[in-house]
Amino acid sequence: MEVNDLHVEYATPAGSVKALQGVSFRLMPGETLAIVGESGCGKSTLARALVGLLQPPGHVLSGSIRLNGEEFETTFSGLNPMRGRVATLVLQDPRDSLNPVLTIRAQLNMVLAHHGIRRNKRSDYSIRLLRRVHLADPKRVLSSYPFQLSGGMCQRVALAIALAGDPQVLIADEPTTALDVQVQAGILRLMHELQRERRFSLILISHDLGVVAGACEKVLVLYAGRLVEYGPTEDVLTHPKHPYTAALIGCLPIPGRGLPQALPGLAPNLIEPPDRCPFIPRCEFADDVCRTNTHPDVEQIDSRQVACYHPVQRAEVVPSGSTLDPSSIQPGRSLEFDEPVLEAIDLRKRYRVGGLIRGTTVDALRKVSLKVIHGETVGLVGETGCGKSTLARCLLVLDRPEEGTVSLDGINLTDVDGRTLRSLRRRAQPVFQDARACLNPGRRIVDIVQEPLRYFRIGTKSQRRNRARAQLRSVGISDELHMSRPRALSTGQCQKVAIARALVTNPDFLVCDEPLSSLDLSAQAQVIALLSDLQKENGFGMLFISHDLAVILTICDRVVVMLEGRVMESSAAADIGSQPAHPYTRALLQSIPGVVTDGQEMETTKSNGLDRPANGCPFAGACPLTIERCWTETPELHDLTPGHSIACHRSAELQPTSVVWNTGAAI
Amino acid sequence: MGNRHVAKSALGWRGGPRLRSFAPRSPLLTSGTVLLGLIAVAVSVGSLVFSVDAFEFRTTTALAPPSAEHWFGTDRFGRDMFARVLEGGRVSIGTASAAMVAILVIGVTLGSIAGYAGRWVDGVIMRVVDVLIALPSFIVALVAAGLFGASLKVVLIAIIGLWWVSYARITRGVVLQAKEQLHVVAARAAGASPMTILVREVLPQVVGPVVVVATIDVGHVILAIAGLSFLGVGAQPPTPEWGTMLSEGREYFLSAPHLMIFPGLAIFLTVLATNLLGEGLQERLDPHSLAGRG
């Protein structure tokens, strides 16, 4: 595949938006290419243009896409017969791209019919395809609807559909963004395996350098619709030449490297952009040469192409191939107090699923205990559905736990009346995952932030506004945005506003429930830096919930690992990051790209619940150390060493594991 | 859907709602507003400007056809029909609007209580709604008139008593949905009281759908009142109500058709205007109809 000087624009009433400006690259048969950049840099536009799925108002201005030397139709023109055989797209959200009202069988048949497979052979063919993407029990999957499958399973089905046409080029647009780190690792492995077996070329699009880099031979970095750097993965990532690439790498959370370096500012507006390097406002190397000249041409330097006037050899951002000292993982802050700001004891929570008659109950939390000390950051890690968010809601008594107590500074929140609870809320505040949804879309930013003060009748209206403005400035939202509404803000900015609102009442405790999941890498780094700065300043205790252990290990003092509503392991971050004890924790660590542990390979398979016994260890189905007892008896949490507790029957026999952080490969 | 995704990620274009300002002005909304505005102005100001008394008997000119002097002709007592149609509009539109306000107050209040409180409160209110929704309002109004005497007041009470239920349903649905919205949960976590949450976070979302339905429904209430008056159980003569006027004109339908044409036309235009306005509003407030337009 060959792309030459591709220009794409969207004609909007506000002016034409130059989504892609002169992007060129060549893809050899069997090659893997990663396309990375922040959200809004033109990645998805490129993916759509490549398969001829650009829809009005988007259109290709100039440039060509050739496949095996043949010109490719770049306009959206109904059903293109080339599509499917040639290049196929696996969309971001698998559930979105599958038809919700058709069974998987019907959807596969449709595709197979398009590729001319005879009716009587389709069923066998479907089963073969599903097996190929490692779906256990393909017959059951065939007769399921998308909503009956997990996100990871849907993604595998989408992959099977893409494979049905035996494509020469497979384009995957953010295939793993909506998935847990653990599921994501599985999907990436699968794509790699398929790619090796079928020799198609793979284009992997993602905002996350860490995800794509390990899986691809070449990387193409896009910024504001332009190619900024393109070359072999290892060269680009260990010795980036363009300042933007270096900055992106700096955003990666890598345990032991300290906090990720946030990239300042925002991606530029692409409506009628000036013909200059778009990175100038955010670039520390920008000088008059950059400001007075037109956009730098893409030049060949050594092994790669760079578009920059100052393509200096930068220092290695992360030493490649080296093992990090595990002791550097712990931030190692000495805490002033050791009184817990928040303590939860034996929380239980059960949800009813389904109707009154045929429904069942799901145990979301089974005897979870947790404490957070003043000024401490505790990380809570686990897969989707393990009860993390339920725990967050119970800790703030937004949901009432059925059993157990939550106390804030010794005051039991679970048995105070509504009025007292409300007055205590100012001392414990949440930050949610979906930053945009938690802000009232009809209200101005400054009013959203001053709202909690209003609820507690603090100050006069103008005092409250001033306080809100100050708080907004402290999270880096500049004055001109204060009177705008949430829709004018980027998701990263929304999350900052949410943080400002949470902190405006000076709480002692903050629960951050997956605060990074809806953000791209540079916004993630900004939010991490912000939270850690604010914590240093205000000294609140924080519970940081995430499915990504790498993030947790970069910012937390202690880590709690949860599975199926139970705490599996709880220890200092340094212990978890360097010598995890529980088999499940090891499996979580292995799913971080670039982490190598000695001993057995383990995979966390989010299974269908059949091999998750009701009484017994929730990890029994996937654990290599499972013994008879694990299936019948639930392991209790007990201390391994002081401050390091674990719930495992075989804790006595566990061999110490050492973890190698091969960060050179990680990025 | 897919298209929106691309637009968003490719352009950093965060809008959707902003699209609204680009959307061409809805012809429905414009025509509905203009028509209803004209009717409202004519009805409220018209009888002040137009100085002919709607109740004055002029036996000499009874049943006169439309002329320069009497634009809509006169009725059997020689009363000026134009003045009576205007005056009748005041009664029809006035009572219908008043009824609508009462319906909204009851419906939205009970609906939000049901949706927000949940549990048994919800159960009780919604069972009452289920029962009332099964009753045909027209017949109940007739029965009520039979029991308590035919008057506009009785008919109005019957209509209000039955029509609030659909608003309670709409409101409850929106409130239930809103309760789960993250910014509502966030407000609760930030320490807002239930009342504050309901008034500041939830009810603003109820306004859109309720206003749309209410606008269309005002037309239906006008029709119902006119229909009941036509049957003789609503407004009583000599009150000039459009339905009553139709009823009065029925005897002279062949000899003096203007007695029915003009009140009928007035009802038709008013109901048409409220329908246009309602659908225009729906188009404007409902994001789905915008997405369809792309």
Q: What CA–CA distance (Å, rounded) separates A289 from A473? A: 33
Q: What CA–CA distance (Å, rounded) separates A452 from B197? A: 12
The answer, for B13 touching chain A at a CB cutoff of 8 Å, is: yes
Query: Residues 495-514, chain A: which have Cβ within 8 Å of B?
Result: 498, 501-502, 505
Q: What CA–CA distance (Å, rounded) separates A493 from A498? A: 9
User: Residue A341, CB half-sphere, CA atoms under 13 Å: how many?
Assistant: 25
Q: What CA–CA distance (Å, rounded) separates A514 from A496? A: 14
The answer, for A236 touching chain B at a CB cutoff of 8 Å, is: no
Strand partners of residue A329: none
Q: Which residues of chain A have pLDDT under 50?
A: 78-79, 316, 318-334, 603-611, 664-667
Q: What CA–CA distance (Å, rounded) separates B212 from B214? A: 5
Q: Of A50, A438, A458, which to mutate for an interface test with B (greatest number of B Cβ within 10 Å)?
A: A438
Place of tokens 């350098």: A209
What is the DSSP track for A432-493? -S-TTTTS-TTS-HHHHHHHHHHHTT-S-HHHHHHHHHHHHHHTT--GGGTTS-GGGS-HHH
- The answer to whether the beta carbons of residues A156 and A193 sit under 8 Å apart is no
Q: How far apart are the first and last CA of chain B?
A: 9
Sign of the dihedral through C-alpha B183, B185, B189, B194: positive
Which of the four pLDDT bands, split at 50, 70 and 90, describes residue B104?
Answer: very high
Q: What CA–CA distance (Å, rounded) separates A196 from A199? A: 5
- The answer to whether the beta carbons of residues A640 and A581 sit under 8 Å apart is yes
- Nearest neighbour of B10 by CB, restricted to A10, A425, A490: A10
- Nearest neighbour of B15 by CB, restricted to A44, A430, A487: A487
Return the number of CB contacts < 8 Å for A and B. Answer: 105
Contacts of B7 in chain A (CB under 8 A): 10, 57-58
Would you say residue B31 has pLDDT above 80? yes
Summarised one tens digit per residue, pLDDT across range B193-205 is 888 888 888 888 8
- The answer to whether the beta carbons of residues B216 and B278 sit under 8 Å apart is yes
Summarised one tens digit per residue, pLDDT across range A292-349 is 777 777 777 777 888 877 776 555 454 444 444 444 444 444 455 577 888 888 888 8
% of chain A at pLDDT higher than 70: 82
Would you say residue B2 has pLDDT above 50? no
Its pTM stands at: 0.75
DSSP A271: B
| Shortest Cα–Cα distance, B36 to chain A (Å) | 29
Average pLDDT, stretch B4-9?
A: 36
Q: What CA–CA distance (Å, rounded) separates A265 from A505? A: 27
| B132 Cβ neighbours under 8 A, 6+ residues apart | B161, B162, B165
Average pLDDT, stretch B132-142?
A: 87
Tell me the residue type at A550: A
Summarised one tens digit per residue, pLDDT across range B44-86 is 887 677 766 777 777 777 777 888 777 787 877 778 888 888 8
DSSP B198: I
| B240 Cβ neighbours under 8 A, 6+ residues apart | B54, B84, B85, B87, B88, B91
Contacts of B2 in chain A (CB under 8 A): 55, 91
Q: What CA–CA distance (Å, rounded) separates B281 from B285? A: 6
Q: What CA–CA distance (Å, rounded) separates B108 from B172? A: 8
- pLDDT for residue B286: 59
- pLDDT for residue A666: 42
Q: What CA–CA distance (Å, rounded) separates B220 from B163? A: 11
Summarised one tens digit per residue, pLDDT across range A631-648 is 778 888 888 777 788 888
Helix, coil or strand: residue A122: helix
B238 preceded by a cis bond (ω within 30 of 0):
yes
